[in-house]
Structure 1
Amino acid sequence: MAKNKAAVVPAGAEFMVRVNDQNVYQLKDKKRAEKMAERLNRIFQDGDRDLDFLTPSVMGKDDKLYYGIICPTVRKNKGRTHFHNPKRKAVDRNMYPPVDWVDSPEPDKQTVVFEFESTDTNVPWVTALVVTNRIRRAIELHFPDASGRRKHPLRCYLLYIPHNQTDAIETVIADKAYCAVYAHPCQGRSGGTHSPKCEELGYRPENISNPFTAYFEDEDEFEILHGCDLTCAITRSNGWYTKYKNHFLRVTNLKNNRSVVVRVTDEAPRGRGVELTYWAWQAIGKPTDRNAVRIELLKS
């Protein structure tokens, strides 16, 4: 079990959250800083937790979206995840858990790390990603991540940070586009190409091919596909994937006008518009099928 530790130290008139003696996030409110450190320490105490699932995330509540940092209960030897690719062995953990923002005194149940407030940042999806990477850089994993990569097996690899980091719109990619979901809790529940019929989706979902995203050519630097993360796959049709990979996009559910900002890290099938990771998809009301969402590129 890795020995990770979070603490709070004074930083002038403010308070710095540190992880393994590395600065992570500075706050004016001492209680919020202490709560962040306490939550991290509870998560670190869970020796079965896959700490690679420390990611930015989002929660929809009372018609509002709250961005934050999460570490869902993806735990070694607690469930299995199967893949469409027959050459890819199942992994010994449930990689696609249901949404569960939990603040608990029990280490094996604690999931939420931090929620950003409107006074913290104008671009919470960017701040969440930057702070998450600081934590990921500071920690050591309890055991190798789900990729099976051999180099630095206990290193927590950093997530890619796009350069278009404002909240302004550069261009509307599509006023009406197809939307689907992937990294859904129903995926990977059994071996073969498909898992059993899913009540929420109404059909048998196709299993995901591999545990990682498509973007990185260097297999030592790819990201694990985290269903809790703020990411998406976008279709190669119309040159979208080539043009927008590694960018922030705003995706809006046209039925309720609720939006989420996600990173493009993967490629969706032709004609499939955008596929949101499960936690992002449910946060904006589960938009599904044709003409379900508006897709916009954020400005640099």
Structure 2
Amino acid sequence: MSQIQMEPNHSNVSYQESPSYSPLKQFWKKWCKQRVAFIASLFILLLVFVAILGNWLAPHDPYEPNYSNILSGPTTENFAGTDEYGRDIFSRLIVGTKISLGVGLISILAGGIIGTFLGLISGYFGGRLDRFIMRGSDIMFAFPDILLAIAIIAILGPGLINVVIALSIFSVPSFARLVRGAALEAKQAEYVEAAQSIGASSYRIIWKHILPSSMGELLVFCSMRMGNAILAAATLSFLGLGASPETPDWGAMLSMGRDYISSASHVVLFPGLILFLTVLAFNLVGDGLRDVFDPKSS
């Protein structure tokens, strides 16, 4: 009898000791397999660190001119050389990291929040509201993003704040279309129908069920959209519609240095290189996140 009683207890112990993996551990396990995206994410973390501590990391004053050292090449004192006013390019790149990342992040957050809200109510409620929101998005999609941003800044005036507003506005329809598709798919799921059958409010269903189901797609899209926002902000500054020329913005640095590309190529080489690497890193992270959140991936 004692031997018979011990067997179920032994099975209970083995069941309790069986390993269980949280979603965070599963994500980390899959993410570590994405080696290229993992390296790109480390580069982005480095940029965030530089953006936070840029004023302390810069070896020189990014705004102070030095007319005795104009357009000098890279040296041990000036790692990336100096510009047409003798300002240290490396220090300006460091300080400009906060500007470029800040403009991209704020515009993506603002456009993402508004677009996600519109996409959720459009996909869940449907009807005339859905048609109205989607037709408005179609009208905005008819214009190229950069042309729409230029038109908005032409109305509001140049400046970094207006660049953020323009980037936020042309990000809204993309987020709305993405989230609407996810909401339409999640609305047909059994757990949503079960929540509706027990009388759950629309607000609770949207907030507790539909929105979490689209978070994976949102993270992937935000990562890729972040690179596009940084590139668009640099383009607007290059055209003279964004940051002022004395501001250490990557796009403004490219605009100011284009006249010296033949005689002092380092003036545009290093801003262009850091802009290229940053946009590439966000796109690679987005590709990695897409593979991680893909249910078919192992």
Same fold (TM > 0.5): no
Between Structure 1 and Structure 2, the one with more helix by share is 2
TM-score, normalization: structure 1?
Answer: 0.24
Q: Which has the higher contact order (CA 8 A, sep 6+)?
A: 2
Higher strand proportion, which one?
Answer: 1
Larger radius of gyration: 2
